[in-house]
Chains A and B, each alone.
Chain A
């Protein structure tokens, strides 16, 4: 029978921990959340020699076991709770060869918890560039562990790491420092009060404000109440502990590590000077953005056209294969077009995340954060707000959760309130389909108008967020400031495996996250569009034939008129026409109104909804884009999606708070309905007014 061991992968941020995780687990990994909170939990399985399997948990990056965020709490809670099902049999601490001194602080803390620990020294391929040499035997002896020198980039050292993991029972669990030496009287008293407990665990329970679930609660409470010293004295003891740990690390590294500065060949400083330059830095970032949006358009047009026509053909094929009936109609007019409305955007979403992943992997994104900090400070926010704002390009929900790292409450509140203005991936399908309908395909200095429009919408979202922050800052009067520290990782060539895994994971969550909602809404919409109350719906054929009896319509034209009449008098048509007076001044008809209302569940539902509504009763095999392009404005005549109504829609979606889940998260994070209600009201009103002005000027 194979045995499974729990392995916790722990390390400072930017040490390549996730690369080690990917190298160990490959595709045998899953991403979830820790119970009750929203910190991402990555788990995977690694097969080891002798049939042993390792269940590997990639814990959130942390600098030490002195927690200051929810992410760091997760690490401490797991390491202190032996009853947790994930409690590690072994800890693998990942460090970066260039920042060994700082990374070893966490290592010494974990070691003192008497958990068998392996030290991974990652990015070994950088040693020659940096003139670093290590005496591994000396380090292993004095750090009382086994070391794996790893280069995930060159796939070196992973086999040794696997062997070390499978032999984890041979590892020493002796401590790095003797805590009692810091304050003998205090620690001896603590130990004598709880003789059977590990002293470092007791110390962490006393000094850390973390939850431990139901397990050991009473016991831990008893320990946490053991505060014979004042808060300041305890802080002073913590400082002494840190100094003692660094003394230990310095002593070990003095002989175990040699850095020959003369032999170091590093262009990092030169690059940093250019990339974070107050003029060139922004210019380079702007050019990179232009390139990304251009590439998104150029590269994805072929696969998008293919997917669009494939869904249209599939729908037609299904209709021909299945007998006529309600379920066939549901499949071909509801489910397939609805799903097509989301699948079509996979290429563009994948390319967007490909670029973001490459920028993050290369180390460039940290420079962007540094650059943006300069701008943010002028608008009353610190660089800490930039991380949630950049995360907002994927989805506002994790971005709002990421604001938990902002200690200042008012600064955090402002970031929460403005983050939904950032263009998230859910807006992308709406933007792309409208842009393709109203913006011509021409080019300006090699850049397509469509790509430029998309980039403008991203900048508009960011600009509105920053400007709103400025106004909120004036209203809310932030007095205190937080300080922002960003670590600049080394520049490196992105690892293909990491990039591919990120793109797969993000695209999967986009498709399956929204896909289930779209599927359900498509089914409900199909029902509402296919059935209706009263004589107008049930006698649609007779009424239409009578109305057009004096016109020589072909059979096909007559069928279209009947379908149109039925749709208008269906449940959805009645609802749509009820809300039409509100949206007509913006240039929209009732069908767009229905799409806007249903997209409150998730913005990307907009395209799926229109695809479903336009498919009901329509026998033609056609793509979503062609169907939308063929829609006629019932009042003004001409295409429904023209330049004026299209721009109006783009602006509406740029500013409106069309996301139920985001509102729920804002409510949870602010612990009040006041802020989400204000956010919804102000953003919706602003979006409506801007869309109205745009349409009335451009029509």
Chain B
């Protein structure tokens, strides 16, 4: 494995790691708002 290939692999690894972290902590999938049952004020409405 020559130096260039090693550097490319490192670049890909860093890009993927950053992409994963940013996606996980800053762009979370929105969840639908569901209400729970019953008449009590459970605070999740």
A35, A208, A601: the one contacting B37 at CB < 8 Å is A208
| Cβ < 8 Å to B, chain A residues 308-335 | 322-323, 325-328, 330
Q: Which residue of A lies closest to B19 (CB)?
A: A520
Contact A407 B10 (CB under 8 A): no
Q: How far does the alpha carbon of A668 sit from the alpha carbon of B31 in the complex, in Å?
A: 10
- Residues of B within 8 Å of A664, CB to CB, are 28
Q: How far does the alpha carbon of A67 sit from the alpha carbon of B35 in the complex, in Å?
A: 12
Q: Which residue of A lies closest to B37 (CB)?
A: A67
Which one of A251-259, A460-468, A521-529 is at the interface? A521-529
Contact B35 A516 (CB under 8 A): no
- A99: CB under 8 A from chain B? no
Q: Do A327 and B40 form a contact, CB below 8 Å, given A70-B34, A209-B35, A322-B1?
A: no
Contact with A along B1-38 (1 / 0, CB 8 A): 11101110110011011101100110010011011111
Contact B20 A516 (CB under 8 A): yes
Contact B20 A520 (CB under 8 A): yes
B2, B17, B24, B40: the one contacting A524 at CB < 8 Å is B17
- Residues of B within 8 Å of A670, CB to CB, are 43
Q: How far does the alpha carbon of A357 sit from the alpha carbon of B18 in the complex, in Å?
A: 37
Contact A73 B28 (CB under 8 A): no
Q: Do A412 and B10 form a contact, CB below 8 Å, given A69-B37, A516-B20, A517-B24?
A: no
Contact B13 A325 (CB under 8 A): no
Contact B6 A327 (CB under 8 A): yes
- Residues of A within 8 Å of B42, CB to CB, are 404, 406-407, 409, 412
Q: Kindly state the interface size class of chain A when it binds its partner.
A: 35 or more
A444 smallest CB distance to B (angstroms): 43
A609 smallest CB distance to B (angstroms): 13
Contact A323 B10 (CB under 8 A): no
Contact B38 A523 (CB under 8 A): no
Q: Which residue of B lies closest to A410 (CB)?
A: B43
Contact B1 A211 (CB under 8 A): no
Q: Do A407 and B3 form a contact, CB below 8 Å, given A327-B9, A517-B24, A669-B44?
A: no
- A36: CB under 8 A from chain B? yes
Q: How far does the alpha carbon of A72 sit from the alpha carbon of B38 in the complex, in Å?
A: 11
B1, B7, B31, B41: the one contacting A37 at CB < 8 Å is B31
Q: How far does the alpha carbon of A671 sit from the alpha carbon of B3 in the complex, in Å?
A: 51
Contact A327 B1 (CB under 8 A): yes
Q: Which residue of A lies closest to B42 (CB)?
A: A407
B36 smallest CB distance to A (angstroms): 5
- A5: CB under 8 A from chain B? no
Contact A524 B14 (CB under 8 A): yes
Q: How far does the alpha carbon of A671 sit from the alpha carbon of B24 in the complex, in Å?
A: 20
Q: How far does the alpha carbon of A323 sit from the alpha carbon of B44 in the complex, in Å?
A: 56
- Residues of B within 8 Å of A404, CB to CB, are 36, 42, 44
Contact A523 B32 (CB under 8 A): no
Q: How far does the alpha carbon of A36 sit from the alpha carbon of B32 in the complex, in Å?
A: 5
Contact B31 A36 (CB under 8 A): yes
Interface size of B by CB at 8 A reads 31
Main SS of chain A's interface residues?
helix
Contact B17 A520 (CB under 8 A): yes
Q: How far does the alpha carbon of A69 sit from the alpha carbon of B34 in the complex, in Å?
A: 11
- Residues of B within 8 Å of A322, CB to CB, are 1
A323, A327, A521: the one contacting B21 at CB < 8 Å is A521
Q: Which residue of B lies closest to A33 (CB)?
A: B31
- Residues of B within 8 Å of A36, CB to CB, are 31-32, 34
A326, A406, A668: the one contacting B7 at CB < 8 Å is A326
B11 smallest CB distance to A (angstroms): 9
Q: Do A37 and B35 form a contact, CB below 8 Å, given A323-B1, A327-B9, A407-B42?
A: no
Contact B37 A412 (CB under 8 A): no
> A406, A407, A669: which has the most chain B beta carbons within 10 Å?
A407
Q: How far does the alpha carbon of A67 sit from the alpha carbon of B36 in the complex, in Å?
A: 9
Contact A517 B21 (CB under 8 A): yes
- Residues of A within 8 Å of B39, CB to CB, are 209
Contact B43 A412 (CB under 8 A): yes
- A582: CB under 8 A from chain B? no
Q: Which residue of A lies closest to B39 (CB)?
A: A209
A402 smallest CB distance to B (angstroms): 12
Contact B10 A210 (CB under 8 A): no
A211, A413, A519, A521: the one contacting B35 at CB < 8 Å is A211
Contact with B along A659-699 (1 / 0, CB 8 A): 01000100011110000000000000000000000000000
- Residues of A within 8 Å of B16, CB to CB, are 520, 523
- Residues of B within 8 Å of A413, CB to CB, are 43
Contact with B along A83-113 (1 / 0, CB 8 A): 0000000000000000000000000000000
Q: Which 7 A-B pairs have CB atoms at the shortest separation, nearest pair first?
A: A325-B6, A67-B37, A36-B32, A407-B40, A523-B17, A327-B6, A520-B17
Given contacts A330-B13, A413-B43, A523-B16, 20 further A-B contacts (CB under 8 A): A67-B38, A69-B36, A69-B38, A72-B37, A73-B36, A210-B37, A322-B1, A323-B2, A325-B3, A326-B9, A327-B1, A330-B9, A330-B10, A406-B42, A407-B40, A407-B41, A408-B41, A520-B18, A521-B17, A524-B18
**B-binding residues in A (CB < 8 A):** 35-37, 67-70, 72-73, 208-211, 322-323, 325-328, 330, 404, 406-409, 412-413, 516-517, 519-521, 523-524, 527, 601, 660, 664, 668-671
**A-binding residues in B (CB < 8 A):** 1-3, 5-7, 9-10, 13-14, 16-18, 20-21, 24-25, 28, 31-32, 34-44
Q: List 11 A-B contacts (CB under 8 A).
A: A36-B31, A69-B36, A209-B37, A211-B35, A327-B5, A327-B10, A327-B13, A408-B40, A409-B41, A516-B20, A527-B10
